[in-house]
Amino acid sequence: MKKRWVLLEHRSSRYSLNEIHFDLLLEEEHDCRTWRLEDLPKCDGPPVEALASPPHNLYWLERKESVVSGGRGWAKRVEGGIFIGCLPLRGHQSQIAVELVGDSISGVLEIKNNLCNLVSLEKFNCI
């Protein structure tokens, strides 16, 4: 099943260079499963810490940039596209492995034990 995904750069304010992190959103039926990343994952690069966050509104899949509600800063879309695969039920400590297809980021996204990896399809198929 194909669903949407997006990476958002989240700042404390629109022009702030401090307190920057990234939010990874994967579309579900009514909202987006979300992880906070301290850095962007690089294909076949080292793992990046991925901390589960509360679900985000589907609204963020459509926005280029916007103020975050509750005075929590500013978010700007970095990349997005579709993902292929299924997410495990919420609350289960399962590994997530879905294929991301985007303009500049593509590969297999793996999230396990609070770590996120982006693996090239060639490398993933050889494992």
Q: 10-58 pLDDT, tens per residue?
A: 998 887 778 899 999 999 999 999 999 999 999 999 999 999 999 999 9
Q: How far is CA 113 from CA 12, 25, 30, 82, 84, in A?
A: 27, 18, 25, 24, 21
Q: What is the pTM of this model?
A: 0.89
Cβ neighbour number for residue 81 with a 10 Å cutoff: 16
The confidence band for 127, taking pLDDT boundaries of 50, 70 and 90, is very low
Under 8 Å between Cβ of 44 and 120? yes
